[in-house]
A and B are shown apart, each in its own frame.
Chain A
Amino acid sequence: MTQVPGIRGALAAGIETANILLTAPDARIGTTPRDLVWSHRKTTLYRYRSTERRHRVPVLLVFALINRPEIFDLRPGNSFVEYLLEQGFDVYLLDWGVPGAEDAETGLDYYVCDALPWAMREVRRCSGADSVTLLGWCIGGTLCALHAALEGSRSPARNLILLTTPIDPKDSLYRTWVGRDSFDVQFVTDKWDVVPGVGIDVANKLMKPVANLWTTYRRLAQNVQDGRADRAAFQSMQKWISDNPPFPARAFREWVTWIYKERRLVNGGLRLRGRRADLRRITQSLLIVTAGSDHIVPRANTTPLLDQVLSADVTDLALPGGHIGLMAGSGARNRIWPELGEWLAARSSG
């Protein structure tokens, strides 16, 4: 009969684990109050409410075209947006929205040459500042780098922060998969108007199949049984990971061909609307952040940028952590956010 309490405990833990997983879609993420400033097509610009804006240069957050930008504002107490507001920054978020089949012909040029500069125009108008800090994460970072590489010193971007940003994906697992000749991206984008987000999510998870498809859930069950499970943290991250907007067909084709197959960004052959994106035109104060355990964008995929830019003020921050955990994990508040805050504060006056 000594087995009974153990069985009862395991059963209760199983039910609790199932409850955490089943109610994860109801978790509330991205809750910091904000106002809609501008929108065009599916793109929306938000400004977060604050009564303590102390720094002159506003910060524009730009996320990737996969997953949603709520990762910047995951949950109360673990939100980068909340942290920036506490530090006195004027914070804006560019949300690319959820593309539909009607966006099949939306290419990278729309994001880099239209949406991003127009959003910066609105940020300047709204804040009254002449310049902006661009903070891009993952593909969002590449879009910001492309903007700076096209516009150079004409860009209103004064500071550029690139978090785990793919610049040269040489030797990456993604390149092994989509960069190979047998992967016909044209076939995929001819048949699909938008590449389903779930397909990209499956690919991301397959990069570390055991960790993503088994260990995460086994650890949750174990933590529940040990009474150490952080329900809010798990559910908010789970909800964010499960929200996968589709990728417009043309943008996907250009992204895979130009960045992964032909590595045009470092080879100097990337042109948008007839203009060459030259990384040597980047003169902004630059902060590059890479994560030691990032399997999606390993450090070596970002650092080639350092050899090309002409910025006089360059900071290269190599930190431990994963692609997402680096900024949104439980340790981010004490590790990376203060570093970003200090770097920004020193470059956001006047």
Chain B
Amino acid sequence: MPDALRKMVDAVEGRAAAAMEQFVAGEGFSELLVRVTENVVAVSRISSDVWDLTLRNLRLAGRGDIDRLAGHLLRTEDKLEMLLQAFERQEAGPDRQ
């Protein structure tokens, strides 16, 4: 790429970058971002629910079932950690507590 063209591209890019940064920091864009985020969240939730319902009606474990099971495993791990800590305190003796 010739030097003159390169310099021109850099200059245009610099101006575009500054303009875009000003644009995304504005109230209008911020509000737009909020609404778009809410729409994406709502659509993804509806689609996830539909898939889950379909799987359940096929008598297969859905995402919700797996999440619940994983939640049980996490709570069991928490209890194990607490038990280990209690055991270590016991083993350390009263002086270390």
Contact = CB atoms under 8 A, between A and B. Distances in A.
A40 B24 CA distance: 40
Contacts of B44: 191-192
Nearest to B35: A182
Interface string A179-205: 010111001100111000001000100
Given A40-B81, A102-B74, A180-B30, A210 B17 contact: yes
A184 B38 contact: yes
Interface string A201-237: 0010011111100110010001001000000000000
A183 B40 contact: no
A192 B41 contact: yes
B25 interface: yes
A102 B71 contact: yes
Contact of B25 (A173, A182, A188, A215): A173
Given A41-B74, A214-B13, A101 B67 contact: yes
Given A173-B24, A183-B34, A41 B13 contact: no
Contacts of B9: 218
A207 B25 CA distance: 8
B42 A207 contact: no
A215 B17 contact: yes
Residue among B33, B73, B81 having the largest count of chain A Cβ atoms under 10 Å: B33
A222 B44 CA distance: 38
A41 B67 contact: no
Interface centre among A173, A183, A191 (most CB of B within 10 A): A191
Interface string A34-58: 0000001100000000000000000
B95 interface: no
A101 B45 contact: no
**Interface size range of chain B in the complex:** 20 to 34
A156 to B, nearest CB: 14
A343 interface: no
A103 interface: yes
A192 B45 CA distance: 7
Given A40-B77, A40-B81, A210 B16 contact: yes
Contact of B20 (A192, A210, A218): A210
Contact of B41 (A40, A187, A209, A215): A187
A215 B38 CA distance: 29
B55 interface: no
A258 interface: no
A118 interface: yes
Contact of B70 (A101, A184, A188, A222): A101
Nearest to A207: B24
A248 to B, nearest CB: 11
Contacts of A102: 67-68, 70-71, 73-74
B37 A211 contact: no
B1 interface: yes
Contact of B67 (A100, A177, A199, A225): A100
A274 B81 CA distance: 22
A176 interface: yes
A264 B15 CA distance: 37
A100 B73 CA distance: 13
Contacts of A40: 77, 81
Interface string B1-16: 1000010010001001
Interface string B43-86: 01100000000000000000100011011011001100100000
21 contacts: A40-B81, A41-B74, A41-B77, A41-B78, A100-B67, A101-B70, A102-B74, A118-B81, A177-B30, A187-B38, A187-B41, A188-B41, A191-B42, A199-B40, A207-B21, A207-B24, A209-B17, A209-B20, A210-B16, A210-B17, A210-B21
